[in-house]
C-alpha cells in the first residue's frame, strides 16, 4: 500500500509534527513499507492458534499485596539536591 503525500501530511498533523518536503517523502516510503508488512501478516490464517495472552486480569496469577517496611527518611533523601524538614525541596512552580 503506497501512501500519498497528503496522507503523510495528515498523519503528521495528527502527531503535531512539522515535516519538510524531504522528510514527508522519506516517511511516505517508510510508512508504506510498514503497511505492506502488516497487509502480509493479515493474510495469515490464525484460527487454529490459541491466544497467548489473556485480556482479563482475573485469569492472571498475581502475588498477594502484603505491607512491607519502607525506606527510612535518611535513605530516601540521601541523593536529593536540597531538603527541608525531612522533605524534598523543589523550586516553586508559581511565583
d(C-alpha 77, C-alpha 83), whole Å: 7
Per-residue pLDDT, averaged over 28-32, amounts to 95
Cell 486480569 identifies what position? 57
Per-residue pLDDT, averaged over 75-93, amounts to 93
Q: Where are the domains of the chain?
A: 5-42
d(C-alpha 52, C-alpha 87), whole Å: 45
Per-residue pLDDT, averaged over 24-30, amounts to 96
Q: Which helix H or strand E contains 88, and what residues bound it? A: strand 87-88
Give residue 69's pLDDT.
93
| Percent of all residues in the chain with a pLDDT value above 70, rounded to a whole number | 92
> pLDDT averaged over the chain?
89
Give residue 54's pLDDT.
60
Per-residue pLDDT, averaged over 29-48, amounts to 92
Per-residue pLDDT, averaged over 48-65, amounts to 73
Q: Which residues fall within 8 angstroms of residue 87, CB to CB, at 6 or more apart?
A: 77
The answer to whether 28 and 8 have CB atoms below 8 angstroms apart is yes
Domain at 5-42, CATH class: mainly alpha
Cell output for 55: 485480556
52 versus 47: which is more confidently predicted? Answer: 47
Amino acid at each position: 500500500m503506497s501512501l500519498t503525500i497528503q496522507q503523510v501530511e495528515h498523519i503528521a498533523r495528527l502527531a503535531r509534527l512539522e515535516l519538510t518536503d524531504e522528510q514527508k517523502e522519506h516517511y511516505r516510503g517508510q510508512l508504506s513499507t510498514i503497511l505492506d508488512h502488516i497487509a502480509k501478516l493479515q493474510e495469515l490464517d490464525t484460527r487454529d492458534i490459541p491466544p497467548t495472552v489473556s485480556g482479563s486480569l482475573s485469569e492472571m496469577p498475581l502475588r498477594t499485596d502484603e505491607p512491607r517496611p519502607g525506606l527510612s527518611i535518611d535513605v530516601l533523601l540521601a541523593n536529593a539536591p536540597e531538603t527541608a524538614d525531612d522533605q524534598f525541596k523543589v523550586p516553586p512552580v508559581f511565583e
